[in-house]
Amino acid sequence: MKVAIASTGNSLESAIDAHFGRCSYFVIVDTETKAVEFIRNPNKEAEEGTGTASVHLMASLSVRKIISGGFGMKIKPLLDSQTIQMIILPDPGKKIKEILELLTH
């Protein structure tokens, strides 16, 4: 199963991002193969519709869960209709490395 994490940077030492739509990088984790991939968010600088565009990106990567510090207002119905689970982690200092350990331990 693929899990996406909103990240502020492209290393395992980076912290989780508080905004799903405007995060710098998406970390795509495959929980079976333990493969980790960093994808630059192409919608980061867009004026609006960043959340919607990011949801479509996640759906095209067949992600089943998204972990972020927070989500925008329009995201929940979109993700619900794609049956993607949202996980909110309100801990701004949490590093990607620590989240990976939680996921795969």
d(CA 3, CA 103): 9
CB 71 within 8 A of CB 88: yes
Residue 89 in the binding site for another protein (CB under 8 A): yes
Q: CB 55: neighbour CB atoms within 10 A? A: 23
What part of residues 59-88 is at the interface with another protein (CB under 8 A)?
65, 67, 69-73, 75-78, 80-81, 83, 85-88
CB of 9 or CB of 72, closer to another protein: 72
Q: How many residues bind another protein (CB under 8 A)?
A: 27
d(CA 26, CA 42): 10
CB of 21 or CB of 25, closer to another protein: 21
Segment interacting with another protein, rule: CB under 8 A, options 7-15, 33-41, 54-62, 96-104: 96-104
Residue 29 in the binding site for another protein (CB under 8 A): no
Least distance in angstroms from the C-beta of 55 to another protein: 12
d(CA 28, CA 32): 12
* DSSP per position, 16-58: BPS-STT-SEEEEEETTT--EEEEE-TTTT-SS-HHHHHHHHH
Catalog residues that contact another protein under the rule CB under 8 A.
Answer: 18-19, 65, 67, 69-73, 75-78, 80-81, 83, 85-91, 99, 102-103, 105
